[in-house]
Amino acid sequence: MCGRYSFAMEDALILERFGIRVRTAIYKARYNCSPTQNLAVIANDAPDTLKFFRWGLIPSWSKDPAGGSKLINARAETLAEKPSFKNAFRNRRCLVPATGFYEWKRDHHKDIARNISRPFHIGMKNGDPFCFAGLWDRWVSGEGEIMHSFTIITTSPNKLMEPIHDRMPVILHREDEQRWISSQMESSSLADLLKPYPAEMMEAWPVSTLVNSPKNDGPEIIGRAPDLML
């Protein structure tokens, strides 16, 4: 799964990388993006705009938005058949920009003689930002309140991720990003994009358990941690 990630870029670099101008008033660097927060996405209905949607998909037909907190991820293998995702897969795809993501590996710690969940930060070897493949939806309450939300698609792990977790987020190659959000593309023709990203282009390192709390959201989150910080 993918339950935390980072998106920490300067405004000028967002413009350079994604072709989108942002205002500091609505964007700030995030080192610990967490479910239920409003986070940056590039949706297929406005590909030149950075929008802020709630992480945790709320399907348009839901009676209660509370269930969205459980739908932070969507399995690539079943997108076309799951009621929560199939319509969004056809019509409402998005890019979720990121500079890294976190995953927890369960290990036996010999010094304390028990199992621990050790957090890792995973990103590109060259430090470049990237995009997850995502889906979004629009939910309207009985009182007319509108809520936009998104989910991140996951797939099987690559060789880097296999020792850490049995799933990983779908990371799109840069040349495939516009294809993913193109209104001209049928969802049936996009299955080839939903695969593990090449392991040789990525790296992972242990970080401290500061990342466990959404309240911690500074650059110290991504620092490499020795065992004593676990």
Query: Cβ distance 4 to 121 under 8 Å?
Result: no
What is the distance between the alpha carbons of residues 170 and 180, in angstroms, rounded to a whole number? 12
Beta-strand pair 171-172/100-109? unpaired
Distance CA 15, CA 27 (A): 12
Give catalytic residues, as residue numbers. 2, 103
Q: Which residue has the tokens 């409003």?
A: 38
Q: Are 195 and 153 in contact (CB under 8 A)?
A: no
- The amino acid that residue 22 corresponds to is V
What is the distance of C-alpha 207 from the center of its chain?
Answer: 18
Contacts of 68 (CB under 8 A, 6+ apart): 36, 54, 56, 57, 58, 62, 139, 149
Six-digit token string for 221 = 């989150």
Residue 100: name the closest of 207, 19, 226, 17 by CA: 207
**Quick one: CA dihedral 193, 198, 202, 205, positive or negative?**
positive
